[in-house]
Amino acid sequence: MYDIIDKLRSHRKQTPIMQSDIAFLLGFKDTTNVCKFEKGNRSPHLEIILLYNLLFEAPALAYFNAQRNTLKQQVLNKIPDLINLIEKEQISPKSKARIDTLQAAFNKLTDEYQYEYEKN
């Protein structure tokens, strides 16, 4: 989480934009919420991350890398179980399409992990 906070703060501080400017643009009555985000006392809302993306071209997805990786691992662990459950149902064109879609997603996510592993 602190990595996200550091990125938010650093993007803003590379410009003359002040916390009060961010607060105004988000409709906050003062800088309290922005200050809390930047100090790490509150998780940043999607709105603030998107605003930093709009103003500073900060890569919005980069703020969610840790959560994305956690979710990716959970999904990779659960997709085979879900496929097994679907296969226990009476196979129909719809269930076959579900399995194919889940298998394609699993393969894509597995390929991403392989690429990330080889890159490091």
pLDDT in tens, 20-50: 999 999 999 999 989 988 888 887 788 888 8
- Domain span at 72: 68-119
Residues 98 and 53 in one domain: no
Residues 51 and 95 in one domain: no
What is the residue-wise DSSP string for 43-80? PPPHHHHHHHHHHH---GGGGGHHHHHHHHHHHHHHHH
Q: Which one has a higher pLDDT value, 81 or 62?
A: 81
With 60 as the cut, is the pLDDT of residue 2 above it?
no
What's the CA gap between 31 and 29, in Å, rounded?
7
Task: Name the CA dihedral angle for 52, 57, 63, 68, rounded to a multiple of 10 degrees.
Answer: 130
Looking at residue 40, its pLDDT comes to 80
Residues 81 and 113 in one domain: yes
Is 19 within a domain?
yes
